[in-house]
Amino acid sequence: MARRSSPRPGRASSLTQRLVGRLEEEILSGALRPGERLVEEELSARFGTSRTPVREVLRTLEAKGLVTTRVSRGAQVRQISWKEIDDLYAVRAVLERMALELASRRVDRAYVQRLEGKLHRMRRAARRGDVRAYFEVDNEFHALVFGASENDVLIELLRNLERRVQTLRFALLSLPDHLPRSLAHHAAVVTALKRRQGRLAAGIRRRRIEEAKALLARFFRNGAGGAWDLGSGS
């Protein structure tokens, strides 16, 4: 039986990045379902590599909030309960309000141009119907807004929250006609920030979060504590 060769250091990094991208796409798109086990040996055979890069991939995905690891079960696609969704979105609304109010005090022309640049890229992705590209720029947009708060603790808390709701956000963006609605929302936030109206921007964002949570509730399966499944809901 032929042994798999160990990749060189530079190639190992590139390989890990590619595998992270592939599995991340499968998790976000729902091809890999919440609770599905990610067995190192099976992934190693599937990708034709040793288990070392697979372990690194799983650690990276866990840091992104897409995978959980338990001693008894190993790695699996992260599950989320309605209680957790409810808690996360409540905290998210409060923290984002603070971030937007702080950011509005530091708005200058260069910052607005950067925000508008993100909007332009999101608009192009929405026209193509490219959810993944839109999602990536959406993440950059949020990071830019949070970063303008210049509060390191707040930024880290919001980053952690973003990681924990990634699959939910991607699922919502994948719904019909949702990209244009999301784009209009972001444009309204930028307009409010340009006017240094932090409370208005926070109010716009809060309504968007509440709408998202209400929509998630319609698709949640198995009641409180059950597994998330946007899938075929209506």
Q: pLDDT tens digit string along 184-221?
A: 999 999 999 999 999 999 999 999 999 999 988 887 75
**Per-residue pLDDT tens over the stretch 126-180:** 999 999 999 999 999 999 999 999 999 999 999 989 888 888 899 899 998 899 9
Among the candidates 77, 104, 127, a domain finishes at 77
Q: Are 117 and 133 in contact (CB under 8 A)?
A: no
Q: Lowest mean pLDDT: which of 62-66, 114-118, 129-133, 178-182?
A: 62-66
Q: Note whether residue 224 is domain-resident.
A: no
Q: Are residues 130 and 191 in the same domain?
A: yes
Query: Distance (Å, rounded) from C-alpha 38 to C-alpha 215?
Result: 29
Would you call 67 helix, strand, or coil by DSSP? strand
**Residue where a domain terminates, one of 20, 51, 77:** 77
State the pairing for strand pair 37-38/67-70: unpaired
* Strands, sheet with 37-38, edge to edge from the N-terminal-most edge strand: 37-38, 74-77, 67-70
**122 in the same domain as 57:** no
Beta bridge partners of 67: 77
In this prediction, residue 105 has a pLDDT band, given cuts at 50, 70 and 90, of very high
The domain tally of the chain equals 2
Does 234 score more than 60 pLDDT? no
Shared domain for 119 and 167, answered yes or no, is: yes
d(C-alpha 83, C-alpha 22), whole Å: 29
Lookup: tokens for 39 = 């067995």
Position 64 in a domain: yes
Q: Which residue's entry shows tokens 């309960």?
A: 81
Together in a domain, 16 and 130: no
Domain shared by 25 and 101, yes or no: no
Q: Is residue 2 part of a domain?
A: no
Q: Assess whether 61 and 176 both reside in one domain.
A: no
Angle CA(172)–CA(173)–CA(174) in degrees, nearest 5? 90
Residue 66, domain member (yes or no):
yes
Tokens representing residue 115 in the block: 């925000």
Q: What is the mean pLDDT of residues 94-101?
A: 96
Residue partners of 189: CB distance under 8 A and separation at least 6:
100, 145, 201, 204, 205
Helix (H) or strand (E) holding 68: strand 67-70
Q: How does strand 67-70 pair with strand 74-77? A: antiparallel
- CATH of residue 72: 1.10.10.10
Q: Which domain holds residue 150?
A: 82-219
Q: Which is it for strands 74-77 and 37-38: parallel, antiparallel or unpaired? A: antiparallel
For the chain, what is the largest distance between any 2 Cα atoms, rounded to a whole number of angstroms?
67
